[in-house]
Every structure is written in C-alpha cells, then in structure tokens.
Amino acid sequence: DGGITQSPKYLFRKEGQNVTLSCEQNLNHDAMYWYRQDPGQGLRLIYYSQIVNDFQKGDIAEGYSVSREKKESFPLTVTSAQKNPTAFYLCASSAGVLGPQHFGDGTRLSIL
Amino acid sequence: GENVEQHPSTLSVQEGDSAVIKCTYSDSASNYFPWYKQELGKGPQLIIDIRSNVGEKKDQRIAVTLNKTAKHFSLHITETQPEDSAVYFCAASINLQGTALIFGKGTTLSVSS
C-alpha cells in the first residue's frame, strides 16, 4: 500500500543528545513536511522540502535540522539546542505545491 | 505573522444533529483550504478541501463553505455519528519560500448516542 511511514512510534531522548526521526514515503510525492504538535495546539511547521536537495525553514526551525537526499526520505534531527523537544512529530507529503498533504502516524518524542 | 483562528475548541452534539466548525484566516493570498480529522494517536486525515475559485463543496455528509471577502470558511457535518468523534483541524495555504499550510488549533467533536 502507498503511504507515509514514520519510525519509531515512540522515542526517548536523554538531555544533551541529538535524535533523528525517520519519514519515508512511497507515494512518489515531490514535497515533504515536518510538523510539531503540542497538546491542545494545532500543527506548527518545522521544515519543508519541495524538491530533492532543497528545503526551507518553517515557523519553528530553531533546534532542528533536516536533509533531503532522496525523494522518498526526509529525516528530522532534533538537536540538543532544542530546549523543549517533548512533542508529537508529524511528517507529511504532497504531490505538488498545492496538492493535498498526506500525513504519517507520527512519532512521540519524550525526554528522559 | 499569518494565522488561522478556529472555533469552537470543543463541540458536543447528539447523534443525528449537525455540527459546524468555523475558521478565519489572515493572509488574503491564501487560496487552498483543507480540513483534517485526527483520531487519538494517529496522524491527521484529509476529509475535504476547497480552493478559492469555488464557494462550496460537498461530499456526502460533509460540506465546506468559503467566503473569501470575509476570509472565513466553515466545515458542516450533517447527521453526525459516534464515529465522527475526533479532533478536526482547518488549514489555509500561505506563501513562504514556496507554499505551505498554516493550521488552526483544532476542535474536539464529541458525538453522543
């Protein structure tokens, strides 16, 4: 089945550690996105990429980094510079600039 | 900055009643407005969307209306069922370096039987 796979579903990080969240899609979509969701909040855009080897900062990019070396993959690294990393992270993709975005089932990151 | 306001934050209805969720947006250049349904522990699922060249779109029990002059759009669910219970998010397109979506804070809909 075509879709977006995020792994792992739950992730724990120690203070001062970097951690990488995986996002893979087999929909042949050009654009991919990372959002952060906090309780009672909407989705806030961290980074997005509209084509391989190119990506742009969203509203809350500080403390995060991404890469887009392959069309199907858009990993997100939460660095130690992110002071409040505990959240639900969602990855999405779309066929084009204004195509509908399809979401994965998220990764819940917690700090030990 | 640009934002999307969504109301109400919670909505409780009886099975069979209608539910209406409203959103307003600030960027007059927005031209794409999707609605998502999110169940607990899952990612949001697109349920309906509308583009700025139409005023209304319907898909079975779900409809969306758009008023570009007033910069607001609404989701209407008729004949609600318990399985409609979820968190609903509206979103509007914004032009950053490219195009992305800005989301409302969500509405928790509870449908009781």
| A60-70 per-position pLDDT tens digit | 999 999 999 99
Q: Which pLDDT tens digit goes with each residue over B23-81?
A: 999 999 899 999 999 999 899 999 999 998 889 999 999 999 999 999 999 999 999 99
Provide the 8-state DSSP code for A96. S
- Chain B hits for A50, Cβ within 8 Å: 98
- Quick one: pLDDT at residue B98? 57
Phi, psi of A62 (to 5 degrees): -60, 130
- Yes or no: say if B80 and B19 are a contact pair by the CB < 8 Å rule: yes
Q: Sign of the C-alpha dihedral, residues A22, A26, A27, A29?
A: positive
Residue B81 in tokens: 């069922």
* Residue with the larger pLDDT of the pair A43 and B1: A43
Q: Is B20 in the A-facing interface, judged by CB distances under 8 Å? A: no
H or E element that contains A94: strand A87-94
A105–B46: do the CB atoms touch at under 8 Å?
Answer: no
Q: Which of residues 45-104 of B touch A (CB under 8 A)?
A: 45-46, 49, 51, 89, 91, 93, 96-104
Between A4-8, B6-10, B75-79, B94-98, the lowest mean confidence (pLDDT) is in B94-98
Considering chain B, what percentage of its residues have pLDDT values greater than 90? 82
Shortest distance between the Cα of A80 and any Cα of chain B, in A, equals: 26
Model confidence pLDDT, tens digit, residues A88-103: 999 999 987 678 899 9
At B2 the pLDDT is 81
CB neighbour list of residue B69: distance below 8 Å, 6 or more residues apart: none
Return d(Cα B34, Cα B52) in angstroms, integer.
Answer: 11
